[in-house]
Amino acid sequence: MDLDDANKLFIQHAFKTNKPEAAYLQLAEKIICFAYGLPLALQIIGSNLRGRSLCEWKSALEKYKKIPNKEILEILKLRYKGLDQIERNIFLDIACFLKGRKKDSVINILEACNLYPNFGIPKLIDKSLITVD
């Protein structure tokens, strides 16, 4: 996800509002960078921090920097393992080469590779492994 979309998703899950307290915004940006724009990671971390104090946010960020959030890693691993080989290929191609491109362009490239993106991309979206604007 680009920074703006990642910010919106994280704020939605962390605050349940579009107008978070200003004191949290700088930490939110650092957390979003930590999550590398992964939708599922943003959702999980945001939900875990909802309603917590600024001190707890700072502590969580330090923890995330040193120890990957096992819950996020386990969920991502399970969701990835639940994909068939073609869906895995779609995910890896998008994550490694096609991130940020227009949807039609991505679909054309994946179709040329016989990866059936019109079926696979919605499955990746449903599993929160990718998002599409």
Count of CB atoms within 10 A of residue 31's CB?
23
CA distances, 77 to each of 10, 48, 82, 86 (Å): 21, 19, 9, 16
Per-residue model confidence as pLDDT tens digits over 59-75: 998 888 887 667 777 87
CA 48 to chain centre: 15
* Cβ(31)–Cβ(10) below 8 Å: yes
pLDDT-derived band at 115, boundaries 50, 70, 90: very high
pLDDT-derived band at 19, boundaries 50, 70, 90: confident
pLDDT-derived band at 14, boundaries 50, 70, 90: very high
pLDDT-derived band at 37, boundaries 50, 70, 90: confident
Per-residue model confidence as pLDDT tens digits over 49-105: 999 999 999 999 888 888 766 777 787 888 899 999 999 999 999 999 998 899 999
